Structure 1
Amino acid sequence: MVQNIDELQKLGKDNLENAMKGFGVVSKGVQAIAVEVADYSKKSFEDGTAAAEKLLGAKTLDKAVEIQTDYFKGAYEGFVAQATKLGELYADLAKEVYKPYEGMIGKLPLAK
C-alpha cells in the first residue's frame, strides 16, 4: 500500500505525466494515420478518374475489358498495401501509447 502522502503525490504526478505523454503520442499517431488515409483517397480518386477516361476512349470491347481488369488489379493491390501500412501505423501507435506505462507496472502495490 501507499506508505505516505509523499508517495501518493509522486504516484499522482507520474500518472499525470504519463497521461500527457500518451495524449501527445495519440495525437501525433492519429495525424499520421489521417494523412495516410487522405493521400490514399486522393490517389485512388485520381487512378479511378484516369481509368474512366481510358475506358471512354476504348475502341473495342476487348480493350475496355483489359483497361477495367488492369484498374481493378491495381486498385486491389493498392488497397492491400494501404491496409497493411495502416495496420502497422495502428500497431506502432499502440506500442508508443503503452511505453510510458511500462515502468509503472512494477510500482503498483499489488505487483509486489
Structure 2
Amino acid sequence: MFQNFDEIQKLGKENVDLAVKSVSAVTKGVQAIAVEMVDFSKKSFEQGSAAAEKMLGARSLDKAIEIQTDFVKSAYEGWISQATKLGTLYTDLAKEAYKPYENVLGKLTPKA
C-alpha cells in the first residue's frame, strides 16, 4: 500500500490541507450568513418600529388596518426574499466546503 514513510507523511499533509481549505470555506460562508441575518434583523426591527409609530398616529380604524396590512405584506415579502438569499448562501457554502474534496472523491469512485 505505502512504499515508505514519506508517502504516508505526504498523504497526511494533503488531507490536512484539504481539511483546512474546507474549514476556511465554511468559516467564510457562516460569516456571510451571519452578516446577512444581522442586516435582515436590523432592517426588520426598523420597519416594525416605523409601522408601530404609524399605528400610534392613525386617526381611524380603517387607516390602522391599512397600515397593518401594508406592514404585514412588506414583512412577508422581505422574509421570502431573505429565505431565498439564505438558501443561496447555504448552497454556496456547501459547494465551497465540498470543493477541496472533489478530486479525492473522484479518485475513489469506480470508473465505468
Q: Same fold (TM over 0.5)?
A: yes
**Partner Cα separation in structure 2 for residue 74 and residue 106 of structure 1:** 46
Structure-2 residue corresponding to 1:17:
17
Change (3 A) 1:62 1:74: same
Render the CA deviation track for 1:24-78: whole Å, top value 9, x for unaligned: 1111111100000000000000000000000000000000000000000000000
Structure 2: state its 5+ residue gaps: none
Question: Residue 3 of structure 1 aligns to a residue in which SS?
Answer: coil
Structure-2 residue corresponding to 1:74:
74
RMSD (Å), alpha carbons: 1.5
Structure-2 residue corresponding to 1:26:
26
* 1:100 correspondence with 2:94: no
Structure-to-structure mapping, 1:47-62, within 5 angstroms: 47-62=47-62
Give, in angstroms, the shift of residue 4 of structure 1: 1.9
**Partner Cα separation in structure 2 for residue 40 and residue 105 of structure 1:** 37
Structure 1: state its 5+ residue gaps: none
Give, in angstroms, the shift of residue 107 of structure 1: 3.7
Give the length in aligned residue pairs. 110
Contact 1:105 1:111 in 2 (8 A): no
Give, in angstroms, the shift of residue 14 of structure 1: 1.0
Give, in angstroms, the shift of residue 9 of structure 1: 2.2
Q: TM-score, normalised by structure 1?
A: 0.91
What percentage of aligned pairs have identical amino acids? 65
Q: TM-score, normalised by structure 2?
A: 0.91
**Partner Cα separation in structure 1 for residue 20 and residue 102 of structure 2:** 15
Amino acid across the alignment from 2:8: L
